[in-house]
Amino acid sequence: MSDFAPPPPPGLGLPKPRVVAVAPTLGSLAGGVFLPQHIKLIGTLTKGNLVQLTDDDRKHATKPFWFSYFWEECGAHPGEFEKSTTQILAFFNHMWLLPSIWDPSSPQCLLKLQAGKLVYSANNAPFPFPNLTLNPGAWTSVSDTMLLQMLEICLEVGFESCSPKGTDKLPFSTNDFTHAPNPGRPPHVDHLRSALVGSFDRAYFLGWRGDGRNLDTIRKSGGLVNKTQSDDYAKSQNMRQPWHPFSLPQNQSKWFFRLAKEDNCLHTVVSVSTDFKSSCTFPLLNSDYVVLPPNNPSQQAISNMTLYERKQWHKVTGNVAGRGSESVTRFADIQQLYLVVVDTQYFDTQQKQTYQFPEVAVKQIPTDNILACISFIRVHHKTTDPAPLTAFFNPRNSDPPSLDRCRRYCQNQAHARQFFVQVQKLYNDTRNALGPNFHVKWASNGAIPVAGFLSDDDKPMVITKVENYVNQTLWP
């Protein structure tokens, strides 16, 4: 499973209050600066109100990129900002211009003094939350101390440090091996795919983890290690900069959970899904992964695109009943998932979620716990989440299980032979399921099957070929 990033469940969106009432301080309502009475309004701003990320921001993990990551989770508890009013106001006054509709000294201000409070009420219309204007050079000139202080506040408000279960040598308790559901919720660890090894009665719990690197590269990195504790990667993503919360060892060692999205932190833990269908829906088609237009482009639009853009869009050919072969344009990508053994400390992500997604979090997966890799091509039916997709097996980058790998993990010849049979069956069953009839889409509690691929006029279409617009064939 790639870095998981699902949207928040219904009811956890940022509030849009119709009336905002905050008590002013004793000082005058000076114009042009953020004041203590603005703190509640600040807490309701979305990352889109504050930062417009570019492809370069995402590629180079810039200050705006990291601010956006931490800020996004604060929407679950915006009231917590009042504990750090002084630091937040200092940061905002350095970074952004006060919007005129929030400025008590401006004729355009929509906040008025009424009975000693700043209030807004305009024919029951929702309060407008503007995109703030960045002060020139703000990101360059912000001090390391000020930025670290702000990001640490976001980390405290929007994230929770969770306690893992078990130890590195004995991660599972007796209760984890029972198959009776816990009251009110499904079992947590036994929903991992288990390979029971014959008469030895030993269970190996298997899951899927997305990673774009090949196995040799992962082996040189010491396995699938969480990003904050993978030094080379962390440095490349600015996580060792003095302004970054994950430059601090005490934060690197924690198991963080994102409160607004109700999901594992993308950087301090490694998420492992227990279900291939759910894993293959990641990364989702959101702005954290790729920016796409609201609809699939026309042939004319493709001709006006850059070479890079034409590589993203694909000509999908297929058979439509009663009409024969036709082609449409869709976004497609190549992903891969590693089949791994979970046998270290873990955090049961589902216990923190309203909508329970089939995954657990670990700090790392040793190289010897990686058994196989399945690569696949995803053809996305639409350009917005949750977009249905059709997935095809990609033999070029796939790496099947081997008896040698099972021996290295089991360190017991008899166990290894029986274990290999189980692992090979799971791999083959998964590989054979992929193809023109494999259609799923993301859902908050795991992937769900969907109707088949459709033509532009919504007629069922069986895909026969996938190629991009620079004459590269992806499938078959």
Average pLDDT (18-28) is 35
The answer to whether residues 50 and 178 belong to one domain is no
- What confidence score (pLDDT) does residue 386 get? 82
| Residue 85 forms part of a structural domain | yes
pLDDT at 171 over 60: no
Average pLDDT (207-225) is 86
pLDDT at 269 over 70: yes
Helix (H) / strand (E) element for 350: namely none
Determine what percent of the chain falls in helix, strand and coil, rounding each to the nearest 5: 30, 25, 45
Cβ count near 405 (within 10 Å) = 22
Average pLDDT (380-405) is 91
Tens of pLDDT along 37-52? 888 889 889 999 999 9
* 87 confidence band (pLDDT: 50, 70, 90): very high
The answer to whether residues 355 and 431 belong to one domain is yes
Amino acid letter, 139: W
Determine which of 29-38, 179-188, 232-241, 379-388 has the lowest per-residue pLDDT on average: 179-188
The answer to whether residues 171 and 149 belong to one domain is no
State how beta strands 359-362 and 270-273 pair. Answer: antiparallel
Distance of alpha carbon 312 from alpha carbon 265, whole angstroms: 28
| Residue 232 forms part of a structural domain | no
Average pLDDT (445-454) is 85
pLDDT at 320 over 50: yes
Distance of alpha carbon 387 from alpha carbon 274, whole angstroms: 21
- What confidence score (pLDDT) does residue 188 get? 36
Total number of domains constituting the chain: 2
pLDDT at 310 over 50: yes
Q: Whole domain around residue 103: which residue ranges?
A: 36-161
The answer to whether residues 58 and 152 belong to one domain is yes
Helix (H) / strand (E) element for 48: namely helix 47-50
Please give the structure tokens belonging to residue 106: 């401006």
In terms of pLDDT, which residue wins out, 95 or 4? 95
Q: Is 326 exposed, middle or buried (0-12, 13-18, 19+ CB in 10 A)?
A: middle
DSSP state of 366: -
DSSP state of 202: E
Please give the structure tokens belonging to residue 111: 């906040």
Helix (H) / strand (E) element for 39: namely helix 39-43
Average pLDDT over the chain reads 81
| Residue 186 forms part of a structural domain | yes
Q: Judge if the upstream peptide bond of residue 9 is cis by omega within 30 degrees of 0.
A: no
- What confidence score (pLDDT) does residue 78 get? 64
Tens of pLDDT along 149-167? 999 999 999 999 998 876 5
| Residue 133 forms part of a structural domain | yes
| Residue 311 forms part of a structural domain | no
**Domain final residue, candidates 161, 176, 208:** 161
The answer to whether residues 73 and 183 belong to one domain is no
* 177 confidence band (pLDDT: 50, 70, 90): very low
Distance of alpha carbon 137 from alpha carbon 116, whole angstroms: 37
The answer to whether residues 275 and 369 belong to one domain is yes
Residue in this structure with the two tokens 């109700």, named with its chain if needed:
262
Distance of alpha carbon 177 from alpha carbon 7, whole angstroms: 31
Distance of alpha carbon 82 from alpha carbon 42, whole angstroms: 10
Distance of alpha carbon 98 from alpha carbon 9, whole angstroms: 32
In terms of pLDDT, which residue wins out, 92 or 12? 92
Tens of pLDDT along 348-361? 888 888 887 788 89
Q: If you write DSSP's letter for every residue of 201-268 in order, what string do you get? A: TEEEEEEEEE-SS-HHHHHHTTSEE-GGG-HHHHHHTTTTSTT-GGGSHHHHTSEEEETTTTEE-TTT
The answer to whether residues 68 and 185 belong to one domain is no
**Domain final residue, candidates 125, 143, 161:** 161
Percent with pLDDT over 90 in the chain: 41
**Domain final residue, candidates 117, 136, 161:** 161
The answer to whether residues 115 and 179 belong to one domain is no
pLDDT at 317 over 90: yes
Average pLDDT (105-120) is 71
Distance of alpha carbon 74 from alpha carbon 158, whole angstroms: 4
pLDDT at 414 over 60: yes
Distance of alpha carbon 223 from alpha carbon 239, whole angstroms: 19
**Could you tell me which residues come within 8 angstroms of residue 68 by beta carbon, excluding any fewer than 6 positions away?**
47, 50, 51, 53
The answer to whether residues 83 and 174 belong to one domain is no
- What confidence score (pLDDT) does residue 106 get? 81
**Could you tell me which residues come within 8 angstroms of residue 145 by beta carbon, excluding any fewer than 6 positions away?**
243
The answer to whether residues 201 and 103 belong to one domain is no
| Residue 2 forms part of a structural domain | no
Q: If you write DSSP's letter for every residue of 108-121 in order, what string do you get? A: T---EEETTEEE--
- What confidence score (pLDDT) does residue 92 get? 96
Please give the structure tokens belonging to residue 49: 């109100």
The answer to whether residues 146 and 187 belong to one domain is no
pLDDT at 28 over 50: no
pLDDT at 9 over 60: no
